[in-house]
Amino acid sequence: MSQNQAIIIAPTGELMDGGFHGPTMEIPTGGYLRQWRKSLGLTQSMLAERSGLTQSVIAKVETESVDPRASTLRKMVGALKREEDPNQAHTVSDIMVSEVTTLLRNDTVQAAIDKMVLGGISHLPVLGETGSVVGLVSESSLLKEGVGKGAFVEEVMRVDYSMVDVDISVEEARRLLGEKEVLLVNRRGVLVGLVGRIDMVRALRETA
């Protein structure tokens, strides 16, 4: 792969060739990333710290001695973009709600109602015994006919929630929120935030 070539990353995180015509994000190759890093006055170790990667990984990507994962490229590009324009939102981590109110399977519907009303929130992720997300309670979940306040959350929670990586771009999140009410954000499988449509609207307002 030459320095002037580019690869395409599909929303699923797969690396595609240039013939892919769906929603994509074009990512510069290793040589271009190296030039970009140097133009910002960053060393490999500084970029590693900002991106959450190791210096060894940065070096291998820049020399194109490995085929990097889509998530690795996203982290590098996200870090470089934030360094280039720190006031601009680039990834969902820049706009997400990081203090997420959650429920447990055996919490009651009454507990969910109280958390929603008192917190002014519309979506509550449900955590399992290991702390991983197992479901989502929304306002519509609580409005189901025949649901009593003493029922357990696991009886009304949705399992069709959308989980995304913390490093996906704001543009990709915006596309997904056109179809989904909310996105749960994870880092290495751990819930770290939540992005709703109103969060995206706020981000659009701030960049207008």
Those residues whose C-beta lies under 8 Å from the C-beta of residue 155, and which sit 6 or more positions away, are: 109, 147
Confidence at residue 26, expressed as pLDDT on a 0 to 100 scale: 61
Confidence at residue 6, expressed as pLDDT on a 0 to 100 scale: 40
d(CA 67, CA 106): 44
The beta strand positions in 2-119, using DSSP E, are 6-9, 15-16, 25-28, 103-104
d(CA 70, CA 72): 5
Confidence at residue 47, expressed as pLDDT on a 0 to 100 scale: 92
Confidence at residue 15, expressed as pLDDT on a 0 to 100 scale: 34
Q: Where are the domains of the chain?
A: 6-86, 93-207
CATH top class, domain 93-207:
alpha beta
d(CA 13, CA 150): 41
Q: What is the pLDDT along the chain (208 residues), one digit of tens a residue?
A: 333 334 333 333 333 333 223 334 466 789 999 999 999 999 999 899 888 889 999 999 999 998 888 878 888 888 888 888 776 667 888 889 999 999 999 999 999 999 999 999 999 999 999 889 999 999 999 988 788 999 999 999 999 999 998 888 888 899 999 999 999 999 888 999 999 998 898 888 766 5
Is the Cα dihedral 194, 153, 145, 161 positive or negative? positive
CATH top class, domain 6-86:
mainly alpha
Q: Which of 78, 97, 98 is nearest to 88 (CA)?
A: 78
Residues shown for the chain: 208
pTM: 0.62
pLDDT tens-digit map of 14-37: 333 332 233 344 667 899 999 999
DSSP label at residue 91: B
Name the packing angle between helices 70-84 and 55-62 (round to 10°): 100
